[in-house]
Structure 1
């Protein structure tokens, strides 16, 4: 008569696991705001710092590159440092996400959050 109710226990476990995952994801999002990465260009003459979420938080420019005749070079170095920081932020974010999702049995390469 109640043959189909045997799966309710599994459903409860799945719901609990989903809630735990949601909590871990929230913690991880907060952690990504605290983790910083630094991108560089021009062998360290320009450094851009960003959170692992990709938010630019600082820019450090060596004063030796301030030559009015090389304005375009400086702009290129700044842009390159920012792009490097953003790439490092994305990589770090994916690494942190993988730590949370390892035990879920998700297909390789599946990006979280959905």
Structure 2
């Protein structure tokens, strides 16, 4: 999803809309906003907004018309997304160059068996 817009709102539908309703709403909106069928906008700002709206309509239809993508979208729409908390990072220690007091070990680029390394 490129923005925070709700695909059902973009197509003017309820979440329990059928596949037939989705296709009908998409075709209707496409006729209204497509540059070949709609009257040309008077300013460049309106033209840019029409393009963005057309892209949102097409993206909404692409997601809602595919059953697997629609199920995934509905699941994500119902559960609010929270950022992953991630690991708790330690504050840098006083004598540490990299912070956190951890040392970095660098291994050789080519692996050699321990017996061969000492010959």
> How does the TM-score come out when normalised to structure 2?
0.28
> How does the TM-score come out when normalised to structure 1?
0.29
Higher strand share: 1
Higher helix share: 1
Query: Which one has more relative contact order, counting CA pairs under 8 Å at least 6 apart?
Result: 1
